Amino acid sequence: MDGVRLLSHRPSVLYKVEHLATEPAEGDIAVEGLLLAGPGWDERLRSVIKALSLSERACLFAVRLSDEQMLPVPAETLLDRTRTDWFPEFLSHGKMHPHFQPIVELNSGRAFGREALMRGKLGAVELRGAELLAAAEAHDAIFSFDYRARTAALEVGLPLLPEGEVLFVNLDPRASLDVESSLRTTWPIVGRLGADPSRICLEFVKPERCPDRDLLHAMADAHRKRGARIALDDLSGGPESLACLELLRPDIAKIDTALTAGIQHSVARRKLVQALVECAHEHGARVVAEGVERVDEFRTMSELGVDLGQGFYFGQPTDKPMAVDTRLVRPSM
């Protein structure tokens, strides 16, 4: 019988769970409200978790009955693993392939570069990048996913990259135990392809999640010494994000999509973006507005001094880099 055994170092949490799970399904086994088993156990556990506060959720752990050797993990993580039980098979036999989205100069419409956005395929099933990353996080497989994704981005993207453009390749700092491992999973591929390092921009994804700031700085410095450009993802104006901007001093800083959507209607966000642009420029970084989907968003970002734009307005991610229509930066009024 499948199900989970629930554990917590706070007895009050287990007491609450016991009373939330008072209606066992047919075939259930209940021991002090700590066991959920039988058909639909995952849906009932999901309902229990939703009824708990954030602090209570953090204290609730689970062990799946079908895997007695598994160590207890947060109950939410176990649900995520159950929902993405296809991921181990994908890592072993699935295919990972990048799609490329243009990054465009807002003053000229010229394509500055392309970001390699990952897609996956397991049998006939297509998987998007966000699904793959969420599954990798749930299964503690960030290193394997990051390495495979970066390898695919470089091997496929560099030969297809249009002349004069830069390839943006994501790098998750959480996937690197040290500087050498980060270099070892990147530069042998570049050397084998004989690519110009200056046409590679390593985009540090959410670097604020990396607790070791010395390691973060050393990684950026080591890749820069190899000739790569460095980009900072999701610049938001928060203290951690600004600290990473000052620490890494990237060549490119990307403004969070959440700030772009509907920015033409928000005076407060326009002021924030203008301040972020000024701050990034002071540190020597060019600024990309991510998530540009409408002409008014493009116009507003251009007026605020943003250098580059990325989003559906300029082009969808495609398996081969597509030409960019420069008329997009001079739309008819």
Residue 79: phi and psi, rounded to 5, are -65, -40
pLDDT band at 202 (very low <50, low <70, confident <90, very high): very high
Count Cα atoms within 13 angstroms, Cβ side, for 167.
Answer: 29
Residues 137 and 62 in one domain: no
Are 156 and 99 in contact by the 8 Å Cβ rule? The answer is no
Cα 127 to Cα 125: distance, rounded to the nearest angstrom: 6
Q: Quick one: pLDDT at residue 68?
A: 65
Residues 120 and 213 in one domain: yes
Q: Answer yes or no: do 121 and 197 share one domain.
A: yes
| 151 vs 16, higher pLDDT | 151
pLDDT higher than threshold 50 for residue 26? no
> Where does the pLDDT of residue 178 fall: very low under 50, low under 70, confident under 90, or very high at 90 and above?
very high
DSSP one-letter code for 107: T
CA torsion, ordered 130, 131, 137, 138, to nearest 10 deg: 150
Q: How confident is the model at residue 327 (pLDDT cuts 50, 70, 90)?
A: confident
The more confident residue out of 174 and 24 is: 174
* 219 and 275 assigned to the same domain: yes
**Between the CA of residue 162 and those of 26, 112, 288, 300, what are the distances in Å?**
61, 10, 19, 28
The answer, yes or no, to whether residue 66 has pLDDT greater than 50, is yes
Q: How many domains does the chain have?
A: 2
Are 106 and 76 in a shared domain?
Answer: no
Mean pLDDT of the region 213-235: 96
If asked whether residues 171 and 311 sit together in one domain, one would say yes
How confident is the model over 242-273, as pLDDT tens digits?
A: 999 999 999 999 999 999 999 999 999 999 99
Q: Which structural domain, as residue segments, surrounds residue 281?
A: 87-329
148-173 pLDDT, tens per residue? Answer: 999 999 999 999 999 999 999 999 99
What are 265-311's pLDDT values in tens digits? 999 999 999 999 999 999 999 999 999 999 999 999 999 999 999 99
Q: Alpha-carbon Rg of the chain, whole angstroms? A: 23
Asked if 255 contacts 235 with a C-beta cutoff of 8 angstroms, the reply is yes
Q: How confident is the model at residue 1 (pLDDT cuts 50, 70, 90)?
A: low
| Residues 200, 243 share a domain | yes
pLDDT at 25 > cutoff 60: no
Q: In whole numbers, what is the pLDDT of the chain averaged over residues?
A: 90
Q: What is the CATH number of the domain that holds 295?
A: 3.20.20.450
Mean pLDDT of 197-204: 97
d(CA 129, CA 126): 10
Angle (CA) 164-169-173 rounded to 5° is 145
Does residue 220 sit in the same domain as residue 323?
yes
Q: Report whether pLDDT(56) > 80.
A: yes
Residue 271 to residue 166: CA distance in whole angstroms: 30
The closest alpha carbon to 287, from 104, 101, 162, belongs to 104
Contact status, residue 246 vs residue 220, Cβ threshold 8 Å: no
Q: Is 175 or 1 the better-scoring residue by pLDDT?
A: 175
Final residue of a structural domain among 50, 83, 116? 83
pLDDT at 39 over 90: no
pLDDT at residue 31 greater than cutoff 80? no
Alpha carbon 157 to chain centroid, angstroms = 19
| Domain end (from 62, 83, 104) | 83
107: phi > 0 → left, psi -120 to 50 → alpha, else beta; which? alpha
Q: Is the domain of 159 the same as that of 17?
A: no
pLDDT over 90 (residue 36): no
Percent of the chain residues topping a pLDDT of 70: 94
In a shared domain, residues 175 and 235: yes
pLDDT of residue 72: 85
| Same domain for 261 and 200 | yes
Q: What pLDDT is recorded for position 23?
A: 53
Looking at the structure, tell me whether residues 46 and 173 fall in a common domain.
Answer: no
Instruction: Output DSSP code: residue 40.
Output: T
Domain boundary among 83, 115, 141: 83
Q: What is the pTM of this model?
A: 0.87
Residue 29: pLDDT over 80: no
